[in-house]
Amino acid sequence: MSETREHLDGTRLVSLLRHQTTLYRRLRLLADRQKALVVQNDAQPLLSLLAERQKLVDGIVGLTKKLAPYRKSWTEFYAQLDDATREEAAGLLEEVNTALASIGQSDQRDTATLAAKRQDMADRLAVVDTASRASVAYSSAGATVREVVTDATA
């Protein structure tokens, strides 16, 4: 049996999956808070929250590396687990998959909301720019008319 194979045991797997589940639960909570911050248009707290999310994602990446040997021979390893461990592992994996899908959907909605807000802001700036140009043009035209009137009366 190889050294890597010796370290593959059900207890370690379940421990890693529990940790992964905890990280995904925390990520889900942050996704919920993110939604509120996006709606409120509150940039600074949103940036702080995104930094927190990045730390959780980094933790998940680290766990994914630790889970890689299990995934490599998943079918064989999973079949060798006792019923209770197999059931717990399956439940944890299901919870992670559900959380991941939910977070993905939430992030897509937030992305669409932010894109709509960005477009709205761009539209508003375009209106302000157009009004500003019109104002400058009218001001210039008024000055020219006054000069002509002044020259004619002089």
Residue 60 structure tokens: 């998940």
Mean of the per-residue pLDDT values for the chain?
84
pLDDT in tens, 62-85: 999 999 999 999 999 999 999 999
Rg, Å, the chain Cα set: 30
Has this prediction a pTM greater than 0.85? no
- Which has the higher per-residue pLDDT, 80 or 137? 80
Tell me, what's the pLDDT at 92? 97
Spans of all domains in the chain = 3-111
Q: Is the pLDDT of residue 149 over 70?
A: no
Query: CATH number of the domain at 3-111, please?
Result: 1.20.58
Of 49, 60, 39, nearest to 109 (Cα)?
39
For the residues of 41-103, what is the DSSP string, one character each? T-HHHHHHHHHHHHHHHHHHHHHHHHHHHHHHTHHHHHHHS-HHHHHHHHHHHHHHHHHHHHH
d(CA 119, CA 78): 49
- Which has the higher per-residue pLDDT, 48 or 136? 48
